[in-house]
Protein backbone atom coordinates (compact mmCIF):
# COMPACT_ATOMS: atom_id res chain seq x y z
CA UNK A 1 0.00 0.00 0.00
CA UNK A 2 1.23 3.47 -0.90
CA UNK A 3 1.46 5.58 2.25
CA UNK A 4 3.64 8.13 4.00
CA UNK A 5 4.56 9.37 7.45
CA UNK A 6 6.05 12.72 8.39
CA UNK A 7 8.48 13.76 11.12
CA UNK A 8 9.89 17.04 12.35
CA UNK A 9 9.01 20.18 14.26
CA UNK A 10 8.38 23.73 13.10
CA UNK A 11 11.72 25.05 14.39
CA UNK A 12 13.53 21.71 14.48
CA UNK A 13 16.48 20.71 12.33
CA UNK A 14 14.51 19.27 9.47
CA UNK A 15 11.22 17.86 8.18
CA UNK A 16 10.98 14.36 6.72
CA UNK A 17 8.35 12.48 4.72
CA UNK A 18 8.93 8.73 4.45
CA UNK A 19 6.99 7.44 1.44
CA UNK A 20 6.50 3.66 1.38
CA UNK A 21 5.04 1.54 -1.40
CA UNK A 22 5.96 3.94 -4.21
CA UNK A 23 6.28 2.03 -7.50
CA UNK A 24 9.58 1.50 -9.29
CA UNK A 25 10.30 2.99 -12.70
CA UNK A 26 9.14 6.58 -12.11
CA UNK A 27 11.67 9.18 -13.26
CA UNK A 28 11.92 11.49 -10.28
CA UNK A 29 12.42 15.18 -10.96
CA UNK A 30 13.02 17.43 -7.95
CA UNK A 31 12.28 20.65 -9.84
CA UNK A 32 8.46 20.31 -9.86
CA UNK A 33 8.56 19.31 -6.18
CA UNK A 34 10.58 22.45 -5.38
CA UNK A 35 8.13 24.49 -7.47
CA UNK A 36 5.23 23.26 -5.32
CA UNK A 37 7.19 24.00 -2.15
CA UNK A 38 7.78 27.55 -3.42
CA UNK A 39 4.08 27.98 -4.21
CA UNK A 40 3.24 26.82 -0.70
CA UNK A 41 5.39 29.63 0.69
CA UNK A 42 3.70 32.23 -1.51
CA UNK A 43 0.36 33.96 -1.60
CA UNK A 44 -0.72 37.34 -0.27
CA UNK A 45 -1.10 37.59 3.50
CA UNK A 46 1.78 35.37 4.57
CA UNK A 47 3.97 36.08 7.60
CA UNK A 48 7.68 36.66 8.18
CA UNK A 49 8.65 32.96 8.34
CA UNK A 50 8.36 32.66 4.57
CA UNK A 51 11.14 35.24 4.13
CA UNK A 52 13.49 33.09 6.21
CA UNK A 53 12.92 29.75 4.50
CA UNK A 54 13.63 28.74 0.90
CA UNK A 55 12.25 25.24 0.85
CA UNK A 56 14.01 22.66 -1.31
CA UNK A 57 13.56 18.90 -1.30
CA UNK A 58 16.43 16.50 -0.76
CA UNK A 59 15.76 12.88 -1.76
CA UNK A 60 17.63 10.68 0.69
CA UNK A 61 16.65 7.19 -0.46
CA UNK A 62 14.61 5.09 -2.86
CA UNK A 63 16.15 6.38 -6.10
CA UNK A 64 18.91 5.12 -8.40
CA UNK A 65 20.11 7.13 -11.40
CA UNK A 66 17.10 9.42 -11.01
CA UNK A 67 14.50 6.64 -11.10
CA UNK A 68 12.51 5.17 -8.23
CA UNK A 69 13.42 1.57 -7.34
CA UNK A 70 10.43 0.46 -5.27
CA UNK A 71 12.02 0.95 -1.84
CA UNK A 72 10.97 3.63 0.69
CA UNK A 73 11.64 7.20 -0.42
CA UNK A 74 12.78 9.67 2.22
CA UNK A 75 12.08 13.32 1.36
CA UNK A 76 13.79 15.99 3.44
CA UNK A 77 13.11 19.72 3.74
CA UNK A 78 15.67 21.41 6.00
CA UNK A 79 14.58 24.23 8.32
CA UNK A 80 16.85 27.25 8.03
CA UNK A 81 15.11 28.76 11.06
CA UNK A 82 16.31 25.94 13.35
CA UNK A 83 16.19 27.18 16.93
CA UNK A 84 13.90 24.86 18.88
CA UNK A 85 16.42 24.21 21.65
CA UNK A 86 16.76 27.93 22.34
CA UNK A 87 13.04 28.60 22.52
CA UNK A 88 11.14 29.02 25.78
CA UNK A 89 7.82 27.44 26.62
CA UNK A 90 4.67 29.56 26.58
CA UNK A 91 2.25 29.76 29.49
CA UNK A 92 -0.91 31.20 27.93
CA UNK A 93 -2.58 28.80 25.45
CA UNK A 94 -3.92 30.27 22.23
CA UNK A 95 -7.61 29.67 21.44
CA UNK A 96 -8.00 27.68 18.23
CA UNK A 97 -4.63 25.92 18.55
CA UNK A 98 -3.76 22.56 20.08
CA UNK A 99 -1.94 24.28 22.96
CA UNK A 100 -4.34 23.51 25.79
CA UNK A 101 -5.64 20.04 24.81
CA UNK A 102 -2.13 18.89 23.84
CA UNK A 103 -0.46 20.10 27.02
CA UNK A 104 -3.11 18.37 29.13
CA UNK A 105 -3.10 15.18 27.03
CA UNK A 106 0.68 14.72 27.22
CA UNK A 107 1.21 16.28 30.67
CA UNK A 108 3.94 18.41 29.13
CA UNK A 109 4.82 21.72 27.57
CA UNK A 110 2.82 23.80 25.14
CA UNK A 111 6.03 24.24 23.11
CA UNK A 112 6.16 20.50 22.52
CA UNK A 113 2.65 20.59 21.07
CA UNK A 114 2.78 23.73 18.95
CA UNK A 115 6.08 22.78 17.31
CA UNK A 116 4.59 19.58 15.88
CA UNK A 117 1.02 20.85 15.37
CA UNK A 118 2.33 23.76 13.30
CA UNK A 119 1.39 23.95 9.63
CA UNK A 120 5.13 24.04 8.89
CA UNK A 121 4.82 20.23 8.83
CA UNK A 122 2.79 20.47 5.63
CA UNK A 123 5.94 21.32 3.65
CA UNK A 124 6.76 17.63 3.44
CA UNK A 125 3.15 16.67 2.82
CA UNK A 126 3.35 18.90 -0.23
CA UNK A 127 6.61 17.19 -1.22
CA UNK A 128 4.97 13.76 -0.93
CA UNK A 129 2.02 14.90 -3.02
CA UNK A 130 4.26 16.45 -5.66
CA UNK A 131 6.12 13.13 -5.82
CA UNK A 132 2.80 11.32 -6.27
CA UNK A 133 1.95 13.59 -9.21
CA UNK A 134 4.97 12.17 -11.02
CA UNK A 135 3.30 8.76 -10.82
CA UNK A 136 -0.06 10.18 -11.97
CA UNK A 137 1.25 12.22 -14.90
CA UNK A 138 2.14 9.25 -17.18
CA UNK A 139 -1.41 7.98 -16.59
CA UNK A 140 -2.89 11.29 -17.76
CA UNK A 141 -4.16 12.28 -14.31
CA UNK A 142 -3.74 15.91 -13.23
CA UNK A 143 -4.74 17.81 -10.09
CA UNK A 144 -5.22 21.55 -9.56
CA UNK A 145 -6.15 23.45 -6.42
CA UNK A 146 -7.33 27.06 -6.27
CA UNK A 147 -9.03 29.54 -3.95
CA UNK A 148 -12.75 30.16 -4.44
CA UNK A 149 -13.52 32.34 -1.41
CA UNK A 150 -11.62 34.57 1.04
CA UNK A 151 -13.61 35.75 4.02
CA UNK A 152 -16.98 36.67 2.53
CA UNK A 153 -15.60 37.44 -0.93
CA UNK A 154 -16.52 34.71 -3.40
CA UNK A 155 -14.37 34.31 -6.52
CA UNK A 156 -16.11 32.99 -9.60
CA UNK A 157 -13.58 31.19 -11.82
CA UNK A 158 -13.00 32.34 -15.37
CA UNK A 159 -14.14 29.60 -17.76
CA UNK A 160 -11.52 27.76 -19.80
CA UNK A 161 -9.53 24.57 -20.19
CA UNK A 162 -7.61 23.18 -17.23
CA UNK A 163 -4.37 24.55 -18.66
CA UNK A 164 -5.89 28.00 -19.25
CA UNK A 165 -7.24 28.07 -15.71
CA UNK A 166 -3.89 26.94 -14.32
CA UNK A 167 -2.22 29.86 -16.09
CA UNK A 168 -4.77 32.27 -14.59
CA UNK A 169 -4.23 30.81 -11.14
CA UNK A 170 -0.48 31.24 -11.46
CA UNK A 171 -0.99 34.92 -12.32
CA UNK A 172 -3.03 35.50 -9.17
CA UNK A 173 -1.40 36.52 -5.88
CA UNK A 174 -4.27 34.75 -4.13
CA UNK A 175 -4.15 31.60 -6.32
CA UNK A 176 -7.67 32.15 -7.63
CA UNK A 177 -8.86 31.52 -11.19
CA UNK A 178 -9.87 35.16 -11.50
CA UNK A 179 -6.88 37.47 -10.90
CA UNK A 180 -9.11 40.54 -11.41
CA UNK A 181 -10.51 39.91 -7.90
CA UNK A 182 -7.06 40.10 -6.29
CA UNK A 183 -7.14 43.81 -5.42
CA UNK A 184 -10.46 43.51 -3.59
CA UNK A 185 -9.23 40.53 -1.59
CA UNK A 186 -5.85 42.11 -0.84
CA UNK A 187 -7.62 45.14 0.63
CA UNK A 188 -9.66 42.84 2.89
CA UNK A 189 -6.46 41.10 4.04
CA UNK A 190 -4.75 44.44 4.65
CA UNK A 191 -7.70 45.63 6.73
CA UNK A 192 -7.51 42.46 8.81
CA UNK A 193 -3.77 42.88 9.30
CA UNK A 194 -4.25 46.47 10.46
CA UNK A 195 -6.88 45.42 12.98
CA UNK A 196 -4.79 42.50 14.28
CA UNK A 197 -7.22 39.94 12.89
CA UNK A 198 -7.01 36.97 10.48
CA UNK A 199 -8.95 35.46 7.57
CA UNK A 200 -9.87 32.02 6.24
CA UNK A 201 -11.57 30.91 3.06
CA UNK A 202 -12.61 28.09 0.75
CA UNK A 203 -10.43 25.99 -1.57
CA UNK A 204 -11.44 23.76 -4.46
CA UNK A 205 -9.32 20.97 -5.94
CA UNK A 206 -10.16 19.34 -9.25
CA UNK A 207 -8.60 16.09 -10.50
CA UNK A 208 -9.03 15.24 -14.18
CA UNK A 209 -8.23 12.14 -16.22
CA UNK A 210 -9.25 9.81 -13.38
CA UNK A 211 -10.22 6.31 -14.54
CA UNK A 212 -13.33 4.43 -13.48
CA UNK A 213 -13.16 2.19 -10.46
CA UNK A 214 -10.73 3.77 -7.99
CA UNK A 215 -11.93 3.11 -4.45
CA UNK A 216 -14.64 0.61 -3.57
CA UNK A 217 -18.14 0.32 -2.16
CA UNK A 218 -17.30 -2.92 -0.35
CA UNK A 219 -15.87 -1.56 2.93
CA UNK A 220 -16.51 1.79 4.57
CA UNK A 221 -12.85 2.47 5.34
CA UNK A 222 -11.81 1.94 1.70
CA UNK A 223 -14.33 4.28 0.09
CA UNK A 224 -12.37 6.89 -1.83
CA UNK A 225 -14.60 9.81 -0.88
CA UNK A 226 -14.04 8.94 2.77
CA UNK A 227 -10.27 8.67 2.28
CA UNK A 228 -10.16 12.01 0.48
CA UNK A 229 -12.24 13.69 3.16
CA UNK A 230 -9.96 12.35 5.90
CA UNK A 231 -6.79 13.47 4.11
CA UNK A 232 -8.16 16.97 3.51
CA UNK A 233 -9.65 17.37 6.98
CA UNK A 234 -6.29 16.38 8.50
CA UNK A 235 -4.66 19.52 7.07
CA UNK A 236 -4.18 22.18 9.74
CA UNK A 237 -7.07 24.71 10.04
CA UNK A 238 -9.45 22.78 7.76
CA UNK A 239 -12.89 22.57 9.38
CA UNK A 240 -15.13 21.38 6.55
CA UNK A 241 -14.97 19.19 3.44
CA UNK A 242 -17.40 18.86 0.53
CA UNK A 243 -17.31 16.60 -2.52
CA UNK A 244 -19.10 17.72 -5.64
CA UNK A 245 -22.23 19.71 -4.81
CA UNK A 246 -21.63 18.97 -1.13
CA UNK A 247 -23.97 20.61 1.39
CA UNK A 248 -26.04 22.22 -1.35
CA UNK A 249 -27.27 18.73 -2.32
CA UNK A 250 -29.12 18.56 1.01
CA UNK A 251 -31.18 21.62 0.08
CA UNK A 252 -32.43 20.43 -3.33
CA UNK A 253 -34.72 17.65 -4.62
CA UNK A 254 -33.09 14.57 -6.13
CA UNK A 255 -34.05 15.60 -9.67
CA UNK A 256 -31.78 18.64 -9.28
CA UNK A 257 -28.88 16.73 -7.71
CA UNK A 258 -28.15 13.41 -9.41
CA UNK A 259 -26.15 13.37 -12.65
CA UNK A 260 -27.95 11.80 -15.60
CA UNK A 261 -26.03 9.16 -17.57
CA UNK A 262 -25.60 9.31 -21.35
CA UNK A 263 -23.35 7.57 -23.85
CA UNK A 264 -21.12 9.23 -26.44
CA UNK A 265 -19.22 6.78 -28.66
CA UNK A 266 -16.79 9.54 -29.67
CA UNK A 267 -15.52 9.60 -26.07
CA UNK A 268 -15.10 5.85 -25.66
CA UNK A 269 -11.31 6.27 -25.65
CA UNK A 270 -11.33 8.79 -22.80
CA UNK A 271 -11.39 7.97 -19.06
CA UNK A 272 -15.20 8.28 -19.22
CA UNK A 273 -15.27 5.20 -21.51
CA UNK A 274 -18.04 7.06 -23.35
CA UNK A 275 -20.32 7.35 -20.30
CA UNK A 276 -20.85 11.10 -20.02
CA UNK A 277 -22.85 13.32 -17.68
CA UNK A 278 -24.35 16.76 -18.38
CA UNK A 279 -23.48 17.70 -14.78
CA UNK A 280 -20.96 16.59 -12.16
CA UNK A 281 -22.81 17.23 -8.92
CA UNK A 282 -21.41 13.98 -7.47
CA UNK A 283 -17.89 15.33 -7.83
CA UNK A 284 -16.68 12.24 -9.71
CA UNK A 285 -17.52 9.77 -6.93
CA UNK A 286 -20.49 7.48 -6.41
CA UNK A 287 -20.72 4.81 -3.68
CA UNK A 288 -17.05 5.38 -2.83
CA UNK A 289 -15.84 4.77 -6.40
CA UNK A 290 -14.72 7.04 -9.23
CA UNK A 291 -17.21 7.27 -12.09
CA UNK A 292 -15.02 8.65 -14.87
CA UNK A 293 -15.87 12.28 -14.18
CA UNK A 294 -13.46 14.84 -12.69
CA UNK A 295 -13.10 14.63 -8.91
CA UNK A 296 -14.07 17.87 -7.17
CA UNK A 297 -13.18 18.39 -3.50
CA UNK A 298 -13.85 21.58 -1.55
CA UNK A 299 -12.34 22.54 1.82
CA UNK A 300 -13.20 25.27 4.33
CA UNK A 301 -10.24 26.80 6.15
CA UNK A 302 -10.84 28.67 9.41
CA UNK A 303 -9.00 31.95 10.08
CA UNK A 304 -5.45 31.59 11.44
CA UNK A 305 -5.73 31.06 15.20
CA UNK A 306 -2.76 33.26 16.21
CA UNK A 307 -3.96 36.86 16.39
CA UNK A 308 -1.82 39.98 16.71
CA UNK A 309 -4.60 41.29 18.97
CA UNK A 310 -4.79 38.18 21.17
CA UNK A 311 -8.01 36.68 22.47
CA UNK A 312 -8.66 36.08 26.13
CA UNK A 313 -6.96 33.05 27.71
CA UNK A 314 -5.54 32.01 31.08
CA UNK A 315 -2.09 31.49 32.54
CA UNK A 316 -1.62 27.73 32.96
CA UNK A 317 0.50 28.21 36.08
CA UNK A 318 -1.72 30.70 37.94
CA UNK A 319 -5.09 29.98 36.25
CA UNK A 320 -5.55 33.75 36.17
CA UNK A 321 -7.06 35.40 33.06
CA UNK A 322 -4.51 36.82 30.62
CA UNK A 323 -4.30 37.49 26.90
CA UNK A 324 -3.17 34.55 24.77
CA UNK A 325 0.46 34.30 23.67
CA UNK A 326 1.46 35.59 20.24
CA UNK A 327 3.85 33.69 17.97
CA UNK A 328 4.86 34.90 14.50
CA UNK A 329 2.01 34.08 12.16
CA UNK A 330 0.22 34.69 8.86
CA UNK A 331 -2.79 36.96 8.42
CA UNK A 332 -4.25 34.77 5.67
CA UNK A 333 -2.76 31.49 4.46
CA UNK A 334 -5.59 30.39 2.17
CA UNK A 335 -3.33 30.44 -0.91
CA UNK A 336 -0.79 28.16 0.78
CA UNK A 337 -3.62 25.89 1.92
CA UNK A 338 -4.76 25.47 -1.69
CA UNK A 339 -1.31 24.09 -2.55
CA UNK A 340 -1.37 21.73 0.43
CA UNK A 341 -4.88 20.46 -0.36
CA UNK A 342 -4.01 19.94 -4.02
CA UNK A 343 -1.06 17.78 -3.08
CA UNK A 344 -2.69 15.71 -0.33
CA UNK A 345 -5.55 14.99 -2.75
CA UNK A 346 -3.04 13.97 -5.43
CA UNK A 347 -1.40 11.57 -3.01
CA UNK A 348 -4.75 9.93 -2.17
CA UNK A 349 -5.52 9.49 -5.87
CA UNK A 350 -2.08 7.91 -6.40
CA UNK A 351 -2.71 5.63 -3.43
CA UNK A 352 -6.03 4.55 -4.96
CA UNK A 353 -4.34 3.92 -8.34
CA UNK A 354 -1.75 1.66 -6.71
CA UNK A 355 -4.47 -0.13 -4.74
CA UNK A 356 -6.54 -0.77 -7.87
CA UNK A 357 -3.84 -1.57 -10.43
CA UNK A 358 -0.93 -2.95 -8.40
CA UNK A 359 2.13 -1.06 -7.39
CA UNK A 360 5.45 -2.80 -8.06
CA UNK A 361 6.29 -0.69 -11.12
CA UNK A 362 4.92 2.09 -13.28
CA UNK A 363 5.09 -0.16 -16.36
CA UNK A 364 2.89 -2.74 -14.65
CA UNK A 365 0.36 -0.09 -13.63
CA UNK A 366 0.21 1.36 -17.14
CA UNK A 367 -0.38 -2.09 -18.64
CA UNK A 368 -3.13 -2.90 -16.14
CA UNK A 369 -4.89 0.42 -16.70
CA UNK A 370 -4.89 -0.27 -20.43
CA UNK A 371 -6.19 -3.81 -19.91
CA UNK A 372 -8.91 -2.62 -17.53
CA UNK A 373 -10.13 -0.03 -20.03
CA UNK A 374 -10.11 -2.54 -22.88
CA UNK A 375 -12.14 -5.02 -20.84
CA UNK A 376 -14.56 -2.28 -19.75
CA UNK A 377 -15.26 -1.18 -23.32
CA UNK A 378 -16.41 -4.72 -24.16
CA UNK A 379 -19.26 -4.57 -21.67
Query: What is the per-residue pLDDT across 320-367, written as a single tens digit (0 to 9) for each?
Result: 999 998 887 799 999 999 999 999 999 999 999 999 999 899 999 999
CATH number of the domain that 299 lies in? 3.60.150.10
Q: What is the pLDDT of residue 306?
A: 87
pLDDT for the residue 219? 97
pLDDT for 49: 57
Convert the pLDDT of each residue in 137-176 to its tens digit: 999 999 999 999 999 999 999 998 889 999 999 999 999 9
Is pLDDT at 63 greater than 70 in this prediction?
yes
Mean pLDDT over each residue of the chain, to the nearest integer: 95
Residue range(s) defining the domain that contains residue 295: 3-377
- Judge whether residue 300 has pLDDT over 60: yes
Q: Please give the pLDDT value at position 82.
A: 92
For residues 169-191, b (16+ Cβ closer than 10 Å) or e, as one string? Answer: beebbbbbbbbebbeebbebbee
Tell me the mean pLDDT in the region 113-125: 96
How many domains does the chain contain in total? 1
Cβ pair 80, 10 in contact under 8 A: no
* pLDDT for position 326: 86
Tell me if the pTM is above 0.85: yes
Q: pLDDT of 26-58, one tens digit each? A: 999 999 999 999 999 999 988 765 566 689 999
CB environment 144-166: b (16+ within 10 A), e (fewer): bbbbbbbbebebebeeeeeeebe
Query: Is 265's pLDDT higher than 80?
Result: yes
Amino acid sequence: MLQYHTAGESHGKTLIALVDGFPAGVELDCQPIDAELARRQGGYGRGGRQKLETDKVDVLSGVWHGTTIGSPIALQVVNKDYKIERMEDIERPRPGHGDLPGAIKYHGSIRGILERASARETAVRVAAGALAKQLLAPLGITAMGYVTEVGRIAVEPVEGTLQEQRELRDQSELYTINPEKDDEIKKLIDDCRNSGDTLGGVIETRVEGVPFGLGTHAQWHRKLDGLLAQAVMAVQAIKGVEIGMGFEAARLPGSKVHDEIRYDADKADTPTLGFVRPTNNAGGLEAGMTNGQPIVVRAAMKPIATLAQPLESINLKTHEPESAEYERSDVCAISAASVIIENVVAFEIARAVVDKFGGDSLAEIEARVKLFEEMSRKR
